[in-house]
Amino acid sequence: SPSKKPPSRGLLHSLLCCLCHKDSESPPIKNNAPMLVEKNGSLSKVSSSLSFLHMISTFTSKPLLPQMESSDAGKICVVIDLDETLVHSSFKPVHNADFIIPVEIDGMVHQVYVLKRPHVDEFLKRMGEMFECVLFTASLSKYADPVSDMLDKWGAFRSRLFRESCVFHKGNYIKDLSHLGRDLNKVIIIDNSPASYIFHPENAVPVVSWFDDMSDTELLDLIPFFERLSKVDDIYAFLTQQRTSS
């Protein structure tokens, strides 16, 4: 099982992995590292507030997203992770790969074999109809951008954000939603790694990591949930209610 393989420090690690060395008392954190980390980790210690410099940058830096398109006015912004949320990638040949992406690393072209999560097509099509969808991955754009080109047939992603848009915090690349330039009351993040959204856990809809289970229905099961969410005015009240009832 790919989920039980030890972490690799090879090319795919540098290409997709957001995991850096942490102190010995913190367990490894999986953060967008397809195939390379045995399972999703969890933070043993998470700061409840950002550093002073980080707070300053939140107010002074240019927003990551452009102005919202008029056709999306009033819609919730849904930030969607890529690796092990929508796809799983590997340098090892996969006979049933949905597509193969050539990526140049250190002057050599390597083939990345990409598997699509079951029902991802239906999921992205419906999400693009209801929300302002943004791809946000801590993987490198040289890999993630062509994957997105092949994956998003309907133009569901209005914008794409990559590793350089993350905040490096305590050895991890974090997706700081306050940098998007959107009202946090109208922002949701879908991600398989809790480390990715430690600054805004109240805005998160977690998903189970996916590797190669073709019977998986996680994305299909989420569609009715997001259909209800698209109609609410207060995302926090809705998510709290869902967590309480589940």
Average pLDDT over residues 201-212: 97
pLDDT at 48 over 80: no
Q: What's the mean pLDDT when you consider all of the chain? A: 82
Q: Is residue 111 a part of any domain in this protein?
A: yes
Q: Is residue 69 a part of any domain in this protein?
A: no
At 99, which CATH number? 3.40.50.1000
Q: Is residue 60 a part of any domain in this protein?
A: no
CA distances from 36 to 1, 7, 59, 115 (A): 12, 5, 35, 15
Number of domains in the chain: 1
pTM over 0.75: yes
Tokens of residue 228, six digits = 């209800």
Q: Is residue 62 a part of any domain in this protein?
A: no
Which residues, 6 or more positions from 128, have their beta carbon under 8 angstroms from its beta carbon? 154, 155, 156, 157
| pLDDT the model gives residue 36 | 27
- pLDDT band with cut points at 50, 70 and 90 for residue 11: low
Q: Is residue 53 a part of any domain in this protein?
A: no
Chain position carrying tokens 């480390």: 195
Q: Is residue 56 a part of any domain in this protein?
A: no
Which pLDDT tens digit goes with each residue over 84-131?
999 999 999 999 999 999 999 889 999 999 999 999 999 999 999 999
Q: How many CB atoms lie within 10 A of CB 144?
A: 27
- Structure-model confidence comparison of residues 136 and 25, the more confident one: 136
Q: Is residue 118 a part of any domain in this protein?
A: yes
- Catalytic residues, by residue number, are 81, 83
Q: Is residue 47 a part of any domain in this protein?
A: no
- Structure-model confidence comparison of residues 230 and 53, the more confident one: 230
The domain of 194 spans 2-42+74-245
Torsion over CA: 120, 222, 225, 65 (sign): negative
From the number of C-beta atoms within 10 Å of its C-beta (0-12, 13-18, 19+), residue 10 rates as exposed
pLDDT at 6 over 50: no
| pLDDT the model gives residue 165 | 96
pLDDT at 8 over 80: no
